[in-house]
Amino acid sequence: MKNATEIKILLRNWIATSGYFDFHDNDVLIDELCFYEKKNRADVVYANGKLTGFEIKSESDSLARWGNQHDAYLRLFDSVWLCCHHKHALKAIELSEKNVGILILDNYGQNITILREAKVNKFIDKFEVISLLWRAELDELCAENNLKINRKERINEARHRVLSELHFDLIKNKALSCIKNRYREKDYSSSS
């Protein structure tokens, strides 16, 4: 039986080398990214021109928490994948929106099989995306776009203000760039 760490290594290798994703040297793989009010953690995140979130469920896991995790993932990620042991396959399909991709693995092989491809997520919450930015990064975004920087303003107030004053694509690109830069040093993609 593969444990979560072994599955994570297998998944990271699959993302980087399978050819399914167009993986480049400047792409970043992130382990345990906190998101959605810091109440959730994505097991693996693939950051290239978009954010792809992966949740791992091993044979010994249950899907009891997947409903809440699923909803949180759909608030942030451009595409969402559930990577699970084959014993969870039917339940995974039943509990997941049709745009959530499902990857299947077994105890013995080193293969990951696509049961259902992930589709573009249209449920993204803009506030969740801007919440990825730390205060200094948010201030930097303001400076880059000639917006007022008010240090007395609470961060959530600043986030709401920036969301109302800037096009979302600018915010999303900044968040993606900051996430990639923040985690680039921690990337150990296919060398694990």
In this predicted model, what pLDDT tens digit does every residue of 55-88 receive, in sequence order? Answer: 999 989 999 999 999 999 999 999 999 999 999 9
> Cα(155)–Cα(160) distance, rounded to whole angstroms?
9
61 is written with which tokens? 């896991």
Task: Label the pairing between strands 79-85 and 101-105.
Answer: parallel
pLDDT in the model for residue 188: 46
**Distance of alpha carbon 75 from alpha carbon 126, whole angstroms:** 8
Q: Which residue in 18, 39, 43, 19 sits closest to 29, CA to CA? A: 43
Task: Inform me whether the pLDDT recorded for 108 exceeds 80.
Answer: no
pTM value is 0.91
Taking residue 98's Cβ as centre, other Cβ atoms within 10 Å add up to 7
Q: CATH assignment of 4-123?
A: 3.40.1350.10
Q: What is the pLDDT of residues 144-177, one digit of tens each?
A: 999 999 989 999 999 999 999 999 999 999 999 9
What is the DSSP pairing of strand 28-35 with strand 40-47? antiparallel
The answer to whether 10 and 112 are in contact (CB under 8 A) is yes
- All CATH 3.40.1350.10 domain ranges of the chain, comma separated, are 4-123
